């Protein structure tokens, strides 16, 4: 897995994710992060919205709760996890990785990009690129995280919920 801080929009390798970052960046208004209320997902490319998440961050104990879960994730997991904890996901291996990535964003207080490349047993290559953007209601505390994911199979965008669900089914 490759992890980078996003310093410039050119650090984001995919146009659709750049649009999400550009919108987030436009809403900064001199702050380190905009508030969730400032974000207008209607400005995102339509094929990106199903693969977006907004996660509430909670302290004592640290927890991450899904505020908005795009339909791509609902299709992928076969359930809607809105208002549920990260710990409720049916993929235990992913929980620890995601928790680490979300905590990293909170510590660094900067947008991050995570790229995961996997080659399946059938020599099919999958690449998931996720941008994680901090959100702050009070201008100090990261209380939400905006995530946008782009998934590719052998370099071709898996753009529809049906295609993503079929890909997930083929891996099982």
Digit-coded pLDDT (tens) for 86-113: 999 888 788 998 999 999 999 999 999 9
User: Torsions phi, psi of 140, nearest 5?
Assistant: -125, -50
Q: Domains of the chain: which residue ranges?
A: 2-171
Q: What pLDDT does residue 68 have?
A: 95
Task: Specify the higher pLDDT residue, 109 or 8.
Answer: 109
**Which DSSP state fits 48?**
T
pTM score over 0.75: yes
Distance between CA atoms of residues 92 and 55, nearest Å? 18
Terminal-to-terminal C-alpha distance of the chain: 21
Task: Return the percentage of the chain with pLDDT > 70, whole number.
Answer: 89
What's the CATH code, domain 2-171?
3.30.450.20
């Amino acid at each position: 897995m490759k992890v980078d801080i996003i310093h410039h929009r050119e650090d984001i390798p995919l146009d659709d994710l750049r649009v999400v970052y550009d919108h987030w960046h436009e809403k900064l208004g001199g702050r380190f992060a905009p508030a969730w209320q400032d974000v207008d997902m209607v400005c995102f490319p339509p094929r990106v919205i199903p693969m977006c998440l907004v996660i509430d961050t909670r302290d004592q104990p640290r927890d991450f709760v899904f505020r908005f879960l795009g339909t791509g994730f609902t299709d992928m997991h076969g359930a809607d996890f809105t208002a549920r904890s990260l710990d409720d996901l049916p993929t235990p291996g992913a929980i620890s990785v995601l928790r680490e990535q979300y905590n990293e964003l909170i510590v660094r207080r900067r947008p991050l990009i995570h790229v995961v490349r996997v080659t399946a047993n059938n020599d099919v290559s999958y690449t998931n690129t996720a941008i994680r953007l901090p959100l702050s209601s009070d201008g100090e505390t990261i209380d939400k995280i905006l995530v946008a994911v782009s998934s590719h199979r052998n370099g071709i965008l898996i753009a529809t919920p049906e295609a993503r669900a079929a890909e997930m089914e083929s891996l099982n």
